[in-house]
Amino acid sequence: AKNMTHKLVFYSSLNKKLQEEAYNKIQDFKPPTGTIHMLHSKEDQCLHKDELNNVINQGYMPFRILCPHCENHTNCPYTLERKTISTGIYFVTHPMLHYLKYRIPQSIPVPDMIVVDENILKGFYLQELLLFHISY
């Protein structure tokens, strides 16, 4: 762990429950302050949940359809949380890991390591997998 103090690691879990479990488990080891972080989902942080759910339910990606036109874009809790990503271990879910590949906002650095816990394919939504493959 000492060698990783200046590195960026994404620890990806299948779902929110397992993400929280892994995050809480590492707290038992009393890591140095500021080295362990939990990224929250857009659903948990969006200030316009009804509009967000409407966009998601129609099969669109919110960061392309909703977020660029949002009046809270500059002070969005979701975006602000991601703008502070630097070094340490960030606990994410597999769907979050999928969105982090787009590096939105662009300030998200490329991680030094990604730890994938459980079966990653079960963590992605079928629509997102199809969109991902179609875009390449």
Q: pLDDT in tens for each of the 136 residues of the chain?
A: 555 568 999 999 988 999 999 999 988 888 888 889 999 999 999 999 999 999 999 988 888 889 889 999 889 999 899 888 888 999 999 888 777 766 655 668 888 888 888 765 555 554 454 454 444 4
- Nearest of 87, 132, 83 to residue 111 by alpha carbon: 87
Residue 66, classed as helix, strand or coil, is: coil
Q: Which residue has the tokens 């892994």?
A: 22
